[in-house]
Structure 1
Amino acid sequence: MTGRTAVTIYRAPPADALLVAPLDEFTAVFHHASGITHLLTEPAPQILHALGEEGMTLDALLATLSVEYDLADGDREALAARLDELVVSGLVAAA
Structure 2
Amino acid sequence: MDNAVYRAPPSDGLLIAPLDEFTAVYHRASGITHLLTDPAPQILAAVQDGAQSLDALLVHLGRDYDLTDGTRETLAARLEELVEAGLVERA
Q: Provide TM-score, normalisation by structure 2.
A: 0.90
SS at match of 2:73: helix
Report the structure, 1 or 2, having the larger strand content. Answer: 2
Unaligned runs of 5+ in 1: none
Q: Which residue of 2 aligns with 1:44?
A: 40
Task: List gaps (5 residues or longer) in structure 2.
Answer: none
Question: What residue is the counterpart of 2:86 in the other structure?
Answer: 90
Higher relative contact order (CA 8 A, sep 6+): 2
Aligned partners of 2:5 and 2:52 also within 8 Å: yes
Q: CA deviation at 1:6?
A: 7.2
Aligned residues: 91
Runs ≥4 residues deviating over 3 A: none
Query: Which protein is bigger by CA-based radius of gyration?
Result: 1
Tell me, in whole angstroms, the C-alpha distance in 1 between the residues paired with 2:2 and 2:75: 18
Sort the Cα spacing of 1:26 and 1:66 in 2 relative to 1 into closer, same or farther, 3 A: same
Partners of 1:36 and 1:75 in 2: CA distance: 29
